[in-house]
Amino acid sequence: MDKVKKRITDAYLSFCLADEIFALHVSQVRKILELVDITEVPRTPDYMRGVINLRGHVLPVLDLNIKFGLPPFQSTKTSCILVIETELDNEAIMLGILVDSVQSVLKIKEEQILPPPSIGKKFKTDFISGMTRVEEKFYMILDMNLILKSNDVFSIKDIKKVRESVENENNNS
Amino acid sequence: MDLPSEFKTKFVNEALDNITEIEQILLELELTPDNNNHIESIFRGLHTLKGGGSMFGFNKLSEFTHHIETVYDLVRSGEIVLSQRIISLTFNAVDIFKKLLVTDEDILQTVSEQCNEIVASFREIVDLKKEERKLQQKENSVHDSSEDNLKEATATYYIHFYPGKNILKNGTNLLYLIDDLLELGEGFVIPGLGEVPDFNEINPKQSYIYWDIFLATNKEVSEISDVFIFVESESTLEIHKVSNTNLFTSEQFVKTLNEIASRNNPINLPSVKKLVHKSQSVNKTEFKSKTKGNKGNKKYEIDSFNNHNSNNSVRVSTEKIDVLTSLVSELVIVQEQLNLISAANQVPGLQSATDSLQKLTSQLRDGILNMSLIPINSLVVRFQRLVRDLSSKLGKKVKLQIEGGDTEIDKSMIDNLSDPLLHIIRNCIDHGIESPQVRNAKGKPETGHIQLKAFYSGANVIIKIEDDGQGIDLYKVKEKAIERNLIDANSDLSDQEIMNLIFTSGFSTSENITQVSGRGVGMDVVRQNINAVKGTVKIDSEKNVGTTITITLPLVLSIIDGLLIRVFDSQYIIPLSVVEHIFFKESLSLDQSIQEIVEFKGTKIPFLNLRKELNVDAPPPEIMQMIVINHHGDFFALAVDKVIGKIQSVLKPLGKLYDENKYFSAATIMGDGSIALLLDTNALVYAFDSKILVN
């Protein structure tokens, strides 16, 4: 009984974005949509790609590539929109993020999740709530809440470096 | 006994309405204290409140109301005269009613003391009046004509009251009802025990007894049936007028009644007839079976009975309306889809059927949207009350006039408006209107006027609050602002800018902090509240002439008629209600216009090129269409690529992420599933303002 209460599920959905692999807890993921036409909203920040019609509701779609300091998202055969639920100023909101591809559902136990790496103050890594290794692969768990709140651009290069350093550390140990 | 909370909520809602009504009538009554209709209405309202209160477990409320009802009963019967003091006390009582509608024991405890105070004051008045009356009666005893008159109006009724078996379940104390009844006049009650089963079979939760009551009263039949108002649906109730005189004056009658009661004989209408006939040898009985009740299905033949609630309305929960609204929204979207299909396929008959359906859909849409609109009048009672209380407290004479109270706005907005408006009116009375002496010295009429005007203007509702008080002293405002470090001492501000300082938090011009206002948390909160519903506030003031506060609110409708336009490859919607005119213009001539001004009907108006505003770089088409927008009487034009046509659009919020976006207030989903954004013309005006400033 206690176990059921403690964690309803430890499943995470992994996806590929900007050549890195990220994961989100499945409770945050509402839907996976095919790429559709996005209506641009003029005079908004670039990373706010626009809005789409989700069954009669207006859903904002974000381009995290821009937030990561990369050129805008390019659609491919595998790209899709991940509809996720998160919080902004204590209010639940739904939004879509553009991803290159959705990979798989992973079982990750809570104790397997390592705290976000803090290699000095050199890199901004606070949009990652944790890292984990499943079958020799590294996944970064995104903290959407922080991404939305912050106006900063997070550099994907930093992310890469952080991931590599953690990888090395783990491989050595 | 605990009733489901939903019933309680329902009762509380109804009671609040009832209290508001009492309050409103009190306000009117204050002006015309001898209006008997008003006194009657108050009495009825109190009675309903009392009955409902006890039924739903608000015993304190019921008890308290009972005391006040007693007073009004005396007023009604002319035994005491309605004085200013009684009205004031009743106002206090009304405030307590509202507090008593909670179930929190602690709160009830604190209110309880206030209750007792008021009851005591009422009692004082009543005792005093009664004594006066006794004296008067002694004086009048020589001329007994007045008493005769009273007697003449007295009639005798036979009432058969058989409560339903389950009547005790709703908490009714039947004996109180009988007591209430006997308060109406002289009576004789014969309990009917014939239906009571053997002791072993008695279910203590059920009622078996019925009553036959003879009542001599000068009250109307409707008042007798009012006593039973909360039980009549479950009971058999018959009220018959058996005589136009007071039968209790006949010894024979009383004697027979006693006999019947002691013998426990069943009583029915024919036997009553006989009895009455015997006791009435002189008077011809005008025998009319006035009311006839059936169990659970009461039919009144008296015309006047049901008339006191001429306002026919149904209370519907907002959720139900929301569900309907969203259904209609979907219907509108499907309708647009159908319009597209019908236009693309030339099927015989399809076009006309689509057109008819379109008409029905629009009517349905307007009907539903109308349901959640509430007239501003619904707030007015509170304002009147505030003016009354505050002006007497401050020793000022103030009159509040309402114009356009039937202007309707969305319910959610009404809730948000109430506090700001109250605050503004409070300010008008406290800071604006001068004392009668000062007004006299200034040559103004003693009574200050506050006028609240509400009206529609394009896609907005405008509420103006004007007073004829001392106005706002700009010099004082500036001084205060410097003193409070809100502005720099050397800053050069325009009048309007100084005026706007009033909206900064921590600002108050009142020299002394009064209990009424002047804590400096006022106007900034007003502005916040109004901004929260996307409205704006403006102050205009002239010294010694008065102050005008203008609140502009958008009509938040979830479905509007829109004008669909295209700019480059995107479609946008402009509310049709603000569109004044559409004309063509060559784009070359627009580019050449230096001050961004076009001519419209002989005048020059400014224009915005939407391509520029929306950051589109592509070369514009040769011919642009100009849409003239009416913004509260000011005109400006928008240059767009093409006007596509009229569309019914269901507005969907863009969501929290787009809160900072100013140009688009909502989006709509088109018949083909694509999205068009709604251009907020109010925001576009600000684009002008900033531009003009830059230039």
Alpha carbon separation from B605 to B591, B624, B688, B695 (Å, rounded): 15, 16, 12, 16
* Structure confidence at residue B692 (pLDDT): 52
- Helix (H) or strand (E) holding B637, with range, is strand B634-640
Q: Is the pLDDT of residue B231 over 50?
A: yes
Question: What's the confidence (pLDDT) of residue B574?
Answer: 92
Assess if residue B162 is contained within a domain: yes
Distance in Å, alpha carbon of B651 to nearest chain A alpha carbon: 10
Chains A–B, number of C-beta pairs less than 8 Å apart: 67
B304 lies in some domain: no
Task: Say if CB B111 and CB B96 are below 8 A apart.
Answer: yes
pLDDT digits (tens, 9 = 90+) for B289-301: 333 334 444 433 3
Q: Would you call A33 an interface residue with chain B, using a CB distance cutoff of 8 Å?
A: no
Helix, strand, coil proportions of chain A in percent (round to 5)?
20, 40, 35
In sequence order, what are the beta bridge partners of B570? B567
Of the candidate ranges A73-82, A138-147, B105-114, B202-211, the one whose mean pLDDT is the lowest: B105-114
CATH number at B242 reads: 3.30.70.1110
CA A20 to chain centre: 10
pLDDT-derived band at B139 (thresholds 50, 70, 90) equals low
**How distant is the Cα of B626 from the closest Cα of chain A, in angstroms?**
20
What is residue B339's three-state secondary structure? helix
- Same domain assignment for residues B193 and B104: no
Assigned domain for B308 exists: no
Predicted pLDDT of residue B103:
67
Least confident of B128-142, B194-208, B582-596: B128-142
Which residues neighbour B294 within 8 Å (Cβ) at sequence distance 6 or greater?
B236
Does the residue B137 lie in any domain?
yes
- B568 to chain A, any CB pair closer than 8 A? The answer is no
Residue A81 has pLDDT above 90, yes or no: yes
pLDDT value of position B293: 38
Residues B161, B269 within the same domain: yes
Q: Which residues lie across from B635 on neighbouring strands?
A: B630
Considering only the C-alpha atoms of chain B, give the largest distance between any 2 of them, rounded to a whole number of Å.
109
Which of B567, B234, B3, B243 has its CA nearest to residue A39?
B567
Does residue B436 sit in the same domain as residue B384? yes
Cross-chain CB nearest to B675 (options A53, A91, A93): A53
Q: For residues B660 and B671, what is the distance between their CA atoms, to the nearest angstrom?
A: 28
CB B167 within 8 A of CB B52: no
DSSP code of residue B232: G
Based on the fold, state whether residues B587 and B504 are members of the same structural domain.
no
Tell whether the model's pLDDT for residue B261 goes beyond 90.
no
CA distance B427 to B421: 10
Across all residues in chain B, what is the average pLDDT? 78
User: Is B505 within the bounds of a domain?
Assistant: yes
* Partners of residue A48 on adjacent β-strands: A62
B352, HSE (Cβ side, Cα atoms, 13 Å): 2
Q: Give DSSP secondary structure letters for B85-105.
A: HHHHHHHHHHHHHHHHT---H
Both tokens of B690, joined, read 């900033």
Looking at residue B475, which CATH number applies to its domain? Answer: 3.30.565.10
Q: For position B285, what pLDDT does the model report? A: 38
Helices of type H across B35-191: 36-55, 59-76, 84-100, 105-140, 145-153, 174-183
For residue A79, what pLDDT is reported?
92
Same domain, B443 and B351: no
| Choice between B237 and A58, residue whose per-residue pLDDT is larger | A58
Q: Does B615 touch chain A (CB under 8 A)?
A: yes
How far apart CA B623 and CA A37 sit, in angstroms, is 28
Pair (B154, B268) in one structural domain: yes
Q: d(Cα B409, Cα B337) in Å, to the nearest integer?
A: 30
Domains in chain A with CATH codes: 2-172 (2.40.50.180)
Q: What pLDDT was estimated at residue B212?
A: 83
Residue B153 has a pLDDT of 66
Give the minimum alpha-carbon distance from B221 to chain A in angstroms, rounded to a whole number: 58
Q: What average pLDDT score do residues B235-250 get?
A: 78
Q: Under DSSP, is residue B599 helix (H, G, I), strand (E, B) or coil?
A: strand
Token pair 């959905």 in the structure block, residue:
A13
**Set of chain A residues whose Cβ sits within 8 Å of the Cβ of B333:** 56
Whole-number pLDDT of residue A80: 93
Q: State the residue for tokens 């109430």.
A: B418
For residue B362, the tally of other CB atoms under 10 A from its CB is 15
Min mean pLDDT across A123-137, B13-27, B47-61 is at: A123-137
B552-556: average pLDDT: 76
Cβ–Cβ < 8 Å for A100, A14: no
- What length does chain A have? 173
User: Whose structure tokens read 């809005």?
Assistant: A51
pLDDT at B216: 83
Tell whether the torsion through CA atoms of B302, B303, B308 and B313 is positive or negative.
Answer: positive
Percent of chain B topping pLDDT 90: 6
For residue B671, the domain's CATH number is 2.30.30.40
pLDDT at A52: 93
> What's the whole-number mean pLDDT along residues B589-606?
80
Task: Please indicate if any CB of chain A lies within 8 Å of the CB of B658.
Answer: yes
Q: What is the pLDDT of residue A59?
A: 93
**Hey, is B474 helix, strand or coil?**
helix
* pLDDT value of residue B297: 41
A18, A5 contact by CB (below 8 A): no
Phi, psi angles (nearest 5°) of residue B149: -60, -45
Smallest Cβ–Cβ distance between B615 and the set A43, A53, A93 belongs to A43
B353 falls within a domain: yes
Interatomic CA distance for residues B294 and B312, integer angstroms: 24
Query: Rounded to 5 degrees, what are φ and ψ at A22?
Result: -120, 165
d(CA A47, CA A154): 12
Rounded to 5 degrees, φ, ψ at B53 are: -60, -45
Q: Are B557 and B467 in contact (CB under 8 A)?
A: no
Q: Based on the domain organization, do B220 and B250 belong to the same domain?
A: yes
Q: For the segment B444-490, what is each residue's pLDDT rounded down to a tens digit? A: 888 889 999 988 776 678 899 998 888 888 888 888 788 777 777 77
CB B626 within 8 A of CB B598: yes
Distance from CA of B459 to the nearest CA of A (A): 23
Summarize pLDDT for B605-654 with one digit per residue, the tens: 888 888 888 888 888 888 999 999 988 778 889 999 999 998 888 888 88
In angstroms, what CA-CA distances link B407 with A11, B534, B631?
55, 18, 19
Predicted confidence (pLDDT) at residue B74 exceeds the cutoff of 50: yes
Residues 346-385 of B with CB under 8 A from A: none
Above 50 in pLDDT, residue B104?
yes
Q: For residue B196, is pLDDT > 50?
A: yes
Pair B514, B656 in one domain: no
Considering the domain architecture, whether residues B613 and B651 belong to the same structural domain is answered as: yes
From the list A40, A53, A94, the residue facing B673 with the nearest CB is A53
Our CA-based measurement puts residue A58 at a distance from the nearest CA of chain B, in whole angstroms, of 6
Residue B155 domain-assigned (yes or no): yes
Closest residue of B to A47, CA-based? B657
Q: What is the pLDDT of residues B656-678, one digit of tens each?
A: 788 777 788 788 888 777 899 99
Would you give the end-to-end CA distance of chain A in angstroms?
Answer: 36
Query: Best interface-test mutation with B: which of A43, A87, A90 has the largest number of B CBs within 10 A?
Result: A43
Interface confidence (ipTM) of the complex? 0.83
Please check whether residue A56 touches B, CB under 8 A: yes
Q: What is the mean pLDDT of residues B334-355?
A: 89
Do B59 and B208 belong together in one domain? no
Whole-angstrom Cα distance, residue B226 to residue B231? 10
Distances in Å between the Cα of A54 and the Cα atoms of A15, A29, A50, B599 are 21, 15, 13, 43
pLDDT given for residue B664 in this prediction: 86
Return phi, psi of residue B640, to 5°. -125, 165
- Kindly tell me the sign of the dihedral angle through the C-alpha atoms of B555, B558, B560, B563: positive
- Rounded CA separation B153/B218 (Å): 5
Portion of chain B with pLDDT greater than 70, in percent: 84
Give chain B's length.
695
Nearest in space to B582 (alpha carbons), one of B596, B563, B555, B597 = B563
Verify that B444 and B546 share a domain, yes or no.
yes
Spatial neighbors of B7 by CB under 8 A, at least 6 apart, are B56
B76/B608 Cα distance (integer angstroms): 68
Residues A17-69 have pLDDT tens digits of 878 888 998 888 999 999 988 999 988 888 899 999 887 788 999 998 888 88
Residue whose tokens read 């009622």: B207
| B66-71 mean pLDDT | 82
How many angstroms away from the CA of A35 is the closest CA of chain B? 14
Q: At residue B154, does pLDDT exceed 80?
A: no
Residue B655 lies in a domain: yes
Question: Would you place residue B305 in the very low, low, confident or very high pLDDT band (cuts 50, 70, 90)?
Answer: very low
- Whether residues B15 and B61 share a domain: the answer is yes
- Which domain, by its residues, includes B388? 374-554
Contact list in A for residue B657 (CB cut-off 8 A) is 48, 60, 88, 93, 95, 148
Give CA–CA dist B610/B348, Å, rounded. 40
Answer yes or no: do A43 and B570 touch at CB < 8 A: no
pLDDT at B173: 78
* pLDDT tens figures, B397-435: 888 888 888 888 887 788 788 888 888 888 888 888 888
Residue B149's pLDDT is what?
Answer: 45
Q: Are B495 and B538 in contact (CB under 8 A)?
A: no
- pLDDT recorded at residue A171: 66
Task: Give residue for tokens 């006191």.
Answer: B308
Residue B496 and residue B689 in contact, taking contact as beta carbons nearer than 8 Å: no
Q: Residue B647's closest CA among B555, B570, B575? A: B575
Residues A51, B667 contacting (CB under 8 angstroms)? yes
Closest CA to A48 of A141, A154, A158, A148: A148
Alpha-carbon distances of A136 from A100, A132, A167, B152, rounded to whole Å: 22, 10, 9, 105
Higher pLDDT, B41 or B558: B41
**What's the confidence (pLDDT) of residue B302?**
36
Residue B315 pLDDT grade (very low, low, confident, very high; cuts 50, 70, 90): confident
Give CA angle at B257 (B256, B260), nearest 5°: 85
Residue at token pair 């509809």: A83
- pLDDT for position B511: 47
Q: What's the confidence (pLDDT) of residue B160? A: 83
Number of compact structural domains in chain B? 5
Domain end call among B532, B554, B576: B554
